Amino acid sequence: MEATTLKALLKHNNQVPRYTSYPTAPHFSDAVDSETVSSWLSTLDDGTNLSLYFHVPFCKKICWYCGCHTKATEKYDPVATFVSYLKKEIEVTASKLQAAPSVTHIHFGGGSPSYLQPDDFRDIMSTVRAHFKIAHNCEIAIEMDPREITEPKVAAYAQAGVNRASLGVQDFHRDTQKAINRIQPLHVVFECVSLLRAYEISDISIDLLYGLPHQNIEKIRENVRIAAGLSPNRISLFGYAHVPWMKKHMQLIAEETLPDGKQRLLQFEAAREALLEKGYVQIGLDHFVQPQDTMARAYLKGELQRNFQGYTTDKAPALIGFGPSAISSLPQGYYQNTPNNRDYYRALDDNDLDIARGLELSDDDKARRSLIEHIMCYQRIDVARFCEEHGINHASLGDYMAELTPLIADGLVEMRGSEIRIKTDAAQVSRIVCAAFDAYIQPQAAQHSQVA
């Protein structure tokens, strides 16, 4: 990274959303309720492709870097109870559909969905297949904690049709692992990858984090070297967001062991360069994929998407989330399940859904969402062409140039006519550019993660 780029990025190291949706979740309200959601679900038709997301809000132990909605439990009984209600939610949700849309993507996240016992995972997938029409080429993905993986679990995944696995690795060094409460020896990761491939689950992703305690450029490069040596199709490189005011367990991380903004940027750039040298292709802000991967092909075709799970090849216009805190995205808007397990169970006992909040999308929301998603995926946008293609008045986007001018002056953004282009080695600026088109954002009203 050039010194001028580094200096400019640090100058603009603002707190802005990650834009996995627009409008972002802090702007949801209780104006959307169960009745609203039932109405929205009833309008889905047979021709609408559908994506399903399952949130498993349990882990055996909390990792201190974790920003997910989850709860630690050594006992499996609470998980078993959750599974019974999750199956009930599948039934209740399916009953609200008037049609049988085709499911093209299924994703299990959490928490630790790999905490589920093999029979429970099979039961969940059997329930899904009994109530939804699964496309023959459906991608079925699961996030995994390698420490929990056993051969019976992998056999159950394969039997249920899982064809993509995402491994939470984060870092291979013991001092960092100890500092984040996640001891995970390399052999555990290696054995997990070997098991998956033995059962022909060959599409494998590895998640790495930078900005963690005790990390430095040398260790980051070694993380990349080890991860790439396992030959995953995809490697995600996320920045640790230290938000102890939101997640109290992050207070257990000693702040003096965390790198500052400059070091975080240098760590990301070191990892990026190492991944490119290994032959991976950068996708958006934080994904690196093998050239033959479906995500690389989607990127080249202009079909890359971004949703609550990050970058994806999932083109389904509707996503239904299951489990406490899960967020859904339908053509009419967003809704989020209650994060409270007891409320979630109580509603399902009454054959209903407990919707905590949501947002009905206006035409302006939909237009800005499309624009912001394109920037996040491709780091460029021709605003005049976009307005023409979407039939919107350019002036309705507001004075976004007021926000972009400082970025242009500092060499992070270039204007070519009406096209905005973000500097290749400054992809992090995408979030700031998106914020210039965000009609909801109020910089002083909410705390987000920094760009660096």
The conformation of residue 80, written as its DSSP 8-state character, comes to H
Q: Is the pLDDT score of 415 beyond 60?
A: yes
> Rounded to the nearest 5 degrees, what angle is found at the Cα of 238, between the Cα atoms of 235 and 243?
155
Summarize pLDDT for 314-362 with one digit per residue, the tens.
Answer: 999 999 999 999 999 999 999 999 999 999 999 999 999 999 999 999 9
> Residue 79 domain-assigned?
yes
Q: Which amino acid is at 117?
A: Q
Residues sharing a CB contact under 8 Å with residue 180, sequence separation 6 or more, in sequence order: 63, 64, 65, 170, 171, 212, 213, 253
> Residue 151 domain-assigned?
yes
16 and 103 co-located in one domain:
no
Which pLDDT band holds residue 445 (cuts at 50, 70, 90)?
very low
Residue pair 370/383 in contact by the 8 Å Cβ criterion: no
16 and 75 co-located in one domain:
no
190 and 229 co-located in one domain:
yes
The CATH number of the domain where 384 resides is what? 1.10.10.920
Which of 300, 322, 344 terminates a domain? The answer is 322
> Residue 242 domain-assigned?
yes
- Tokens 């550019």, residue located: 433
393 and 444 co-located in one domain:
yes
Using the Cα atoms of residue 73, residue 75, residue 81 and residue 82 in order, give the sign of their dihedral: positive
What is the β-pairing status of strands 305-307 and 310-312?
A: antiparallel
Closest CA to 317 of 45, 32, 37: 45
- Tokens 């949700």, residue located: 93
224 and 143 co-located in one domain:
yes
316 and 376 co-located in one domain:
no
Summarize pLDDT for 154-176 with one digit per residue, the tens.
Answer: 999 999 999 999 999 999 999 99
299 and 218 co-located in one domain:
yes
Share of the chain above pLDDT 90, in %: 93
Residue pair 207/66 in contact by the 8 Å Cβ criterion: no
| CA–centroid distance for 67 within its chain | 12
287 and 404 co-located in one domain:
no
> Rounded to the nearest 5 degrees, what angle is found at the Cα of 395, between the Cα atoms of 310 and 306?
5
- What gap in Å lies between CA 325 and CA 69, rounded to an integer? 7
Structural domain boundaries, residue 7: 1-23+362-452
Share of the chain above pLDDT 70, in %: 98
Summarize pLDDT for 282-319 with one digit per residue, the tens.
Answer: 999 999 999 999 999 999 999 999 999 899 999 999 99
Number of domains in the chain: 2
The conformation of residue 95, written as its DSSP 8-state character, comes to H
Summarize pLDDT for 363-390 with one digit per residue, the tens.
Answer: 999 999 999 999 999 999 999 999 999 9
Which pLDDT band holds residue 15 (cuts at 50, 70, 90)?
confident
| CA–centroid distance for 14 within its chain | 21
Q: Count other Cβ atoms within 10 Å, centred on residue 243.
A: 13
18 and 48 co-located in one domain:
no
> Residue 311 domain-assigned?
yes
- What gap in Å lies between CA 131 and CA 92, rounded to an integer? 10
Which of 322, 347, 370 terminates a domain? The answer is 322
Model-level pTM?
A: 0.95
The CATH number of the domain where 231 resides is what? 3.80.30.20
Residues sharing a CB contact under 8 Å with residue 163, sequence separation 6 or more, in sequence order: 139, 140, 141, 201, 203
Return the H-helix or E-strand segment holding 135. strand 133-144
Strand partners, 26: none
6 and 65 co-located in one domain:
no
40 and 105 co-located in one domain:
yes
Q: Is the pLDDT score of 189 beyond 70?
A: yes
Which of 262, 297, 322 terminates a domain? The answer is 322
> Residue 115 domain-assigned?
yes
272 and 219 co-located in one domain:
yes
Summarize pLDDT for 126-161 with one digit per residue, the tens.
Answer: 999 999 999 999 999 999 999 999 999 999 999 999
